[in-house]
Structure 1
Amino acid sequence: MRVAILPLALGTFAIGLTEFAVMGLLPQIATGLDVSVPAAGTLVTAYAIGVVVGAPLLTAVSLRLPRTRMLILFMAMFAVGNALAAAAPSFGLLVAVRFLTGLPHGAFFGVAALVAASLVPEERRARAVAAVFLGLTVANVLGVPAATALGSVVGWRAAFAVIVVVALTSVAGIALLVPRAGVGTPARLGAELAVFRQRSVLLVLAMIVLGCGGLFAFYSYIAPVITGLAGFGSDVVPVLLGVFGLGMTLGTVLGGRVADRVDPRRVMVVLLAAQAVLLAAAVLALHSRWLAPLVVFGVGLLGLALVPAVQSVVMDAARDAPVLASAAIHSAFNVANALGAALGGVALAAGLGLGAPSAVGALLAAMGAVLAVFSLRAGTRPAATVDA
């Protein structure tokens, strides 16, 4: 089963490269396509919008396919999108391609998590989900710096070409290694949509938007904060980004293990409350060169430790119709990304100082913790069976 999960993790590794490596390649892309760096930042936004739109849309239109075929389709689309990006002759076309490439992102994550969970005994499913997400965290720690370095030396188009190879390798691995039996039958749209009438599912999605918005309020402005408050030079920023990635990786592993042993709803409450406290403390702690790296590591750890618990709660709530709800998790994460970055930027623009994004993050995480408490009190109720 570990072998079967490997190509799924490789797929999330490719997705992590595409989502985050472009941030390090913006100067090269801007120069190559004759636009400003701020204008090139549209590539990040276009991809995020694609994720939000594509997760429910692509999942809904492909529900009749077996889950293994869904995974192959989504990752093949991802490979094609990156190939088109590598060959895009103009900036406008590249923006359009980035939007299209983002469409299968959330759909792949959602279905891959369900498939991984179906391949192991129920008491190990959160760890299986965590193993899939490790591809994303490893991409942040190792893949993104490597892709950025390659793009700087050979050109940004080469980085996209490498992602195509990784995505196609994932497609081949899924086709060869992921068993077709035991990974779910074709779903019914009516039953999948009915899940969103459940209070427990809506609470978790709202909790992600607010609670994880706190993570992104902090992370979006990590470079100016650690240079302006902690006094590090710009050359230290990549190192601390690596520290953040290490925290994410460890958080993913630990979060999976804890969510298999403890009620994942309780895990959500504890993690978001701890994140709120840490981000509040960060307003002062980030002034210290000794404490700043610990804060960066801790925020990454707590943020990603939440993911296996969230996935487990949604699978419990959705029961026999979890596909669309699982994909919606990743739309919610990207809405959280946009919300956190926007509110952190508003606080900075208002002149509240470089500690403001952390304070905003603490408030959002605390609001997420409150919703997690409501989710805990709601308890786990079986999803209603609805005929399509």
Structure 2
Amino acid sequence: MATFLFFVAIVIFLSASYADHTYRYNVAYPSSPFFLVRFGDDKREAKVLLDTNRPYTMVFDKVCGDKGFECTKNKHDYLYDYKKTNGKLTNKTLMDKYDYNRNFGGFLFTDVVRVDSIGCHTDVLVVDHGHPSYNFEWDGVLGLGISNGRTNIIKNIMTDISTAQIVIQEGKYNIPRKNAKNEMISKGSVVFGKLRGSTKCGPFTYVNATATSWQFRADVHIGNETLTNQKIGFVPGRPTQVPLSIYNELFSDKKATDESNFHEISFSVDGKTCGINKNDYLYYVEAGNYYEPIIDIAYPNYGYDFAFGSDFLQHYCVALRAHKSVVHYQIGFAENSARRICFATTLISSLVLGILRILV
């Protein structure tokens, strides 16, 4: 009996030792989803953008709050102070390549990025210059991109949670549409580790990611046009991005009078399709009676052709999964909140899985 109780105690201890965490956000339009992190010994929380492409975390330095030295056009409630975090300045600098024209750059500081109970010892890009004319509403970026360098935190996170998986489930993407009720509140979550309870994500189907990124290759369809073997990523909290040539051809008209010229953007995997349509990205400007496509550009140096954003993630849950060795990566897709069915999941399979969950 004592041996059994000892075994149970060990199991409970091991289960509790994992750093699984569910982060939930609730934002009102026009604010974008954000994620809360802390740096080092600083007790303050920073509102950051969750990013699956950057293989580094970045935060704005306290100099960005000085008049004449603004790094963005926004006021940031959190600004990094190495004296408060106990961070250490390195002799390395880094220029951010993912926000075109914003010119974010600065020194790397060795510090600890704290995601709830997970502490990631890493080099953080502390941005001390940018472009004061451009908008960037977050205090920084939590970079979950894949690399083998000192700026990488994804391997640390994946080995600290019970199941090497992060599930992103965004809420309603608020965009004014003609003759439609506009929802002003968006609720979403990010789950680190094992999914528990009601996530409102359907069964996941996985595809292999590339060896060095949370991206995969598939055909992309825009209207009647098909672009083969495109490299596809994701941009949570932001609009979908398309190549510059596609943007100039199809999405550069910011005062369009005919919405019929805007088409579905989707990708195919194993003959099945997921994507967005004009109702997801077409902003109706009532005062001028015209349509503005809220689509961004995926510049060549970003490293991917397309990146699907909040307009897509309101329909689909996306899972980032690694094997315990954290050398092989997969991306999963599932229906989000029963809004839309991805990969042709049938009603029968959903019922069977529901019954199995109850039995288990």
**Larger RCO (CA under 8 A, 6+ residues apart):** 1
The structure carrying a bigger strand percent of its residues is: 2
Q: TM-score, normalised by structure 2?
A: 0.29
Which one has the largest radius of gyration? 2
